[in-house]
A = this chain, B = another copy of it.
Amino acid sequence: MHLNDRIEAAIASAVRIGQSGPAPSRLAAALHHATAPGGARIRPTILTSVALACGDDRPALTDAAAAALELIHCASLVHDDLPMFDDADIRRGRPSTHRAFSEPLAVLAGDSLIVLAFDILACAPAPDAARALGLIRILGRRTGMPYGICAGQGWESEDRIDLSAYHQAKTGALFIAATQMGALAAGQDPEPWEELGARIGEAFQVADDLRDALCDAATLGKPAHQDDLHGRPNAVTRLGVRGALGRLDDILAGAISSIPKCPGEAQLAQMVRAYADRIVPAAARQAGMIPGE
Where the two chains meet, the residues of A that have a C-beta atom closer than 8 Å to any C-beta of B are 18-28, 31, 75, 79, 82, 84-85, 101-105, 107-108, 110-112, 114-116, 118-119, 121-124, 126, 129-130, 132-134, 136-137, 140-141, 143-148, 150-151, 153-158, 162, 165, 169
On whether the beta carbons of B133 and A115 are closer than 8 Å, the reply is no
Report chain B residues within 8 Å CB of A132: 133
- Chain B: which residue is nearest A165 at the CB level? B22
Report chain B residues within 8 Å CB of A84: 102-104, 107
A19 vs B165: C-alpha distance in the bound complex, in angstroms? 14
A115 vs B150: C-alpha distance in the bound complex, in angstroms? 9
Contact (A111, B112) CB under 8 Å given A22-B165, A146-B19: no
On whether the beta carbons of A162 and B22 are closer than 8 Å, the reply is yes
| Of the residues B25, B134, B155, B162, contact of A158 by C-beta under 8 Å | B25
Q: Is the interface of A mostly helix, strand, loop or mixed?
A: helix
A-B contacts, 5 listed (Cβ < 8 Å): A18-B145, A108-B150, A115-B144, A122-B133, A133-B136
Report chain B residues within 8 Å CB of A31: 145
Contact (A24, B137) CB under 8 Å given A144-B18, A146-B18: no
A21 vs B212: C-alpha distance in the bound complex, in angstroms? 31
| Of the residues B22, B28, B103, B133, contact of A133 by C-beta under 8 Å | B133
Report chain B residues within 8 Å CB of A24: 146, 151, 154-155, 157-158, 162, 165
Besides the known contacts A84-B102, A112-B144, A116-B140, 7 further A-B residue pairs in the complex with CB atoms under 8 A apart: A75-B111, A108-B153, A111-B114, A116-B144, A118-B140, A122-B134, A124-B133
On whether the beta carbons of B157 and A145 are closer than 8 Å, the reply is no
Q: How many copies does the complex hold?
A: 2
Give min CB distance, A237 to chain B, whole Å: 22
* CB-based closest 6 A-B pairs: A115-B144, A119-B140, A23-B146, A27-B154, A24-B154, A18-B145
- Chain B: which residue is nearest A137 at the CB level? B122
Give min CB distance, A111 to chain B, whole Å: 5
A234 vs B278: C-alpha distance in the bound complex, in angstroms? 56
- Chain B: which residue is nearest A132 at the CB level? B133
A133 vs B129: C-alpha distance in the bound complex, in angstroms? 7
Contact (A27, B103) CB under 8 Å given A111-B110, A114-B114: no
Give min CB distance, A216 to chain B, whole Å: 27
Give min CB distance, A231 to chain B, whole Å: 15
Give min CB distance, A50 to chain B, whole Å: 20
Residue in A119, A140, A145 whose Cβ sees the most chain B Cβ within 10 Å: A145
A91 vs B48: C-alpha distance in the bound complex, in angstroms? 44
